[in-house]
Structure 1
Amino acid sequence: MWLRLVQSARDRDEQNLEAYVKNGQLLYRSLRRIEKDEELLVWYGKDLIELLLLSAGKAPVKAKGSTPYSCPDCNQRFQFEFPFLAHLRFRC
């Protein structure tokens, strides 16, 4: 029930949980110590990224100070890597 309250991280720096699949079950693990009242922010583990076709290889590397991530199909722009990857896989 509480898993519905876990939000997606916007990038690797913000992420504190990792989702992964083991024996057919979706599990979560913390990537660092999570402080009391800190929001849980999840993204996918390497194997789950490959399973969901969320390969970071599709995303261009964003240089510091450059324009946001831009979808090559619809030109929608994103400030953060993970929403951009999710857009490529699930929306566009």
Structure 2
Amino acid sequence: MRDNHFVRTELIGLDVEVLSAPYSGIAGKVVDETKNTFTIESAGTERMVPKPGNEFRFTHEGRTFDIRGSEITHRPEDRIKKVR
């Protein structure tokens, strides 16, 4: 499911699953975000996953959203302004 409004929300704290190899199978909560990476807490450890070249499945309010990392390579505070 694709929703431009979702891309403008705060992603830290959401459940996420990485769909792209070699990171596929990493699933957990987003605990930090930079312009080019997500830090995901998974099974008690934190894994840094680059946004470019990866696809992510977020769960928010009972819905799932598949987002390509290249679509959200902005600083979190700028993403709200840039994505329309």
Q: What's the TM-score once normalised by structure 1's chain length? A: 0.28
Q: What's the TM-score once normalised by structure 2's chain length? A: 0.29
Between structures 1 and 2, the one with greater strand share: 2
